[in-house]
Amino acid sequence: DFSYDPALDNVVGLLFAEEQSGFMAGALAGLMSESKIVGMVAGVEIPPVIRFRKGYEAGVKHVCADCEVLGVYIDSFIDPARGKTAAMSQIDEGADVIFGGGGTTGSGAILGATQAGVWSIGVDQDEYLTTFKEGRTPGANKLLSSAMKRVDNAVYGAVKQAVEGNFSGGTFKFDATNGGTGLAPFHETEASVPDEVKAKLQAIAADLKSGKLTVKIDD
């Protein structure tokens, strides 16, 4: 999530197309919503979080033009209590899917939402494995997926270059074309996601990878 400008020869900067993962999360939310109101609890209003939010909003509208998207920025990445409160507020307004995009603040949002019986989507990593401790934490059965930045793939590539002796510094962008973005597995919600929803998500992912579909957001 950081790079030097100008780039340094001995440093690799790894950047991600958060708007693409956000778009996939938004498409999932829009396809799964019955109330046609979905929410997002975001962390601090900085560029990566803004891209997640704008991508999410675009993804929702891509599949559900008349869906309403509720959203809020919270000026902390480490305040799960405020995240939960924000999620509960959005649920009170009718949201039936919550996207948590902001560190443990976002995790607090989806923990609160899932434990209240509301579909939720995590961020950055597969939160089923982390926040929900591989299903041991209550609410895991309502976690649809997570909008991932595949840091594992990006770091593996850099380490592989170093091991093979062809390391080169610079800035590298990771997106749908090189395995840098996407959704985590459905895990316990696999059977709850209709086949037609899965098919639409697969088509969107393929179009992002091929370049047929681009996520246009204002910087």
pLDDT digits (tens, 9 = 90+) for 51-71: 999 999 999 999 999 999 999
User: Confidence class of residue 219 from pLDDT cuts 50, 70 and 90?
Assistant: low
- pLDDT score, position 57: 98
Indicate the pLDDT class of residue 76, thresholds 50, 70 and 90. Answer: very high
Strands 119-124 and 170-174, by their bridges, are unpaired
Structure tokens at 48: 């990566």
Domain ranges of the chain: 12-210
Asked if omega into 80 is within 30° of 0 (cis), the reply is no
Query: Does 1 or 116 have the greater pLDDT score?
Result: 116
- Tell me the CATH architecture of domain 12-210: 3-Layer(aba) Sandwich (3.40)
Q: What is the pLDDT of residue 8?
A: 83
Is the pTM higher than 0.85? yes
Largest interatomic CA distance in the chain: 56
